[in-house]
Structure 1
Amino acid sequence: MADDQALTKSAPRPAAETPPRRGRGRPVGDREGRRAELLEAAMKVIAEEGIAAASLRRVAKRAGCTTGAVSYYFANKEAMMAAVIESRFDQFDKLLEIGDDAASVRRGFERWLEITTTEDAVWAAGFQLLAYARNEPALAAAYQRRYAHYRGVFASILAKGQQQGWVRTDIAADLLADQLSAMGDGWMMLYPIEPARFGPKRVKALLDATMAIISPPAPSPGKRSA
């Protein structure tokens, strides 16, 4: 009996199963989802505190993780800023994936206005990044490349519309794409200053006017015979 008790006391308890070790700062789980969360946190820090405050450490604090977790995705602040720019253009590119007919183009501009009027961090961070990129060649190059791609895809949609007859042909498609893109940027710039001008009725009027701009001109009425 004593021997049995001794064996019972000395028998080792099964060790608790420990999670696999991971490298310092290496995230687990949904990496793409985590990266998107960090970019969102970076954009909010930029919008609310300015680019000067958007360090890896500050973004990590905002995202509720370690600085090492942020540096796993972004080598430095400049790389993080470039990734934010790329992520914003990814969203803009999606506006052109909804179709290539007149209704789809109208819906694209409608969605642009929705982003402008509902996602404050987008325009606030975007304008700061644009100003910052003036003195950062790598970021400026990212803007040039992605904006050129956006305009190119948009121009191809408008060119197809010219062939189908719902886009005017007296102005080149690439010029129309440039003008309309600049118009959308203008909405995004003006909304935070004059939000009252972007009520539902005016937004509808803006969309109607946009489609009128790209539609073929109405034929001139024939002169009445004497």
Structure 2
Amino acid sequence: MGEAKARGPYAKTPARRAEIVRAARDSFAEKGYAKASLRDIAERAGITHAGLLHHFRNKDELLAEVLAQRDTEEWAQGVTQVDTLDRLAPYLVALIRHHQKAPELMRLWIELAAAASRPDHPAHTYFVERYERGRGQFADGLSDEASRARLRKDVTPASAALLFHAVLNGLQLQWVLDQDLDILGPVTDFVRLLFDDASSDD
């Protein structure tokens, strides 16, 4: 009986991990990564500190999971919401506005991405694969004849995908440095530049 009771908090591991990640996301956004503690996150998740350590070994591992989950959610949203090129700019504007509500998470993501550029970093493979997947998905979205016709004739889908991620990440980095900077207009301008041949024909 006692042994079964001890295993109780770990019985639904996926659900429990999801609760911990949500709690960590809230704690990081509210307190910042440096000030957020595993004990605070455990309390928010309704478990003990030892229970949290059963799922995540340290705060770095938890941060990586928080950011990976955010990526997964946003990939899914993008696939469902951007069904035509006309929806791309409005979706990106809405996405960045959402990111701006939690600037600390934006900052943490940028810092982790930079640190993961080292081949020996634990998140290196994740970020390499993330960008490969993102470029592939964007380029694949331009593979049909109608989409290719709207892309500037001197830009390939692969180049557009690379530029897309560079501009999106670069603008968010600049906003983290200066939060008075308007980056929503430039996002729309960039999409218009990629597809301006099509817009001028409409």
- TM-score normalised by the shorter chain: which range applies? 0.7 to 0.9
Q: 1:179: how far off?
A: 1.2
Aligned residues between the structures: 189
What is the letter of the counterpart of residue 38 of structure 1?
I
Asked if the contact 2:160–2:194 (Cα under 8 Å) also holds between the matched residues in 1, the reply is yes
Matched, 1:155 2:139: yes
Match of 1:45 in 2: 27
Match of 1:3 in 2: none
Inter-CA distance 159–110: structure 2 relative to 1 (3 Å threshold):
same
Match of 1:185 in 2: 169
Alpha-carbon displacement from aligned partner over 1:66-109 (angstroms, at most 9, x marks no partner): 223323432333321221221121123124312553234x2xx4
Match of 1:69 in 2: 51
Which has the greater radius of gyration? 1
Match of 2:5 in 1: 21
2:128 aligned to which of 144, 148, 163: 144
Match of 2:155 in 1: 171
Q: 2-side partners of 1:39 and 1:165: how far apart?
A: 42
What is the letter of the counterpart of residue 79 of structure 2?
E
1:102 aligned to which of 85, 89, 96: 85
Match of 2:180 in 1: 194
Match of 2:42 in 1: 60
Alpha-carbon displacement from aligned partner over 1:144-186 (angstroms, at most 9, x marks no partner): 2212211211111123366652222311111111212222224
Match of 1:130 in 2: 110
Q: 2-side partners of 1:88 and 1:212: how far apart?
A: 27
Matched, 1:87 2:87: no
Give the unaligned 5+ runs of structure 2: none
What is the letter of the counterpart of residue 103 of structure 1?
D
Asked if the contact 1:57–1:67 (Cα under 8 Å) also holds between the matched residues in 2, the reply is yes
Q: 1:143: how far off?
A: 2.0
The root-mean-square deviation of aligned C-alpha atoms, in Å, is 3.3
Asked if the contact 2:152–2:195 (Cα under 8 Å) also holds between the matched residues in 1, the reply is yes
Match of 1:112 in 2: 92
Q: 1:47: how far off?
A: 3.2
Identity of aligned residues (%): 22
The SS at the match of 1:52 is coil
Match of 1:217 in 2: 197
- TM-score where L is the length of structure 1: 0.66
More helix by share: 2
The SS at the match of 2:72 is helix
Q: 1:139: how far off?
A: 1.9
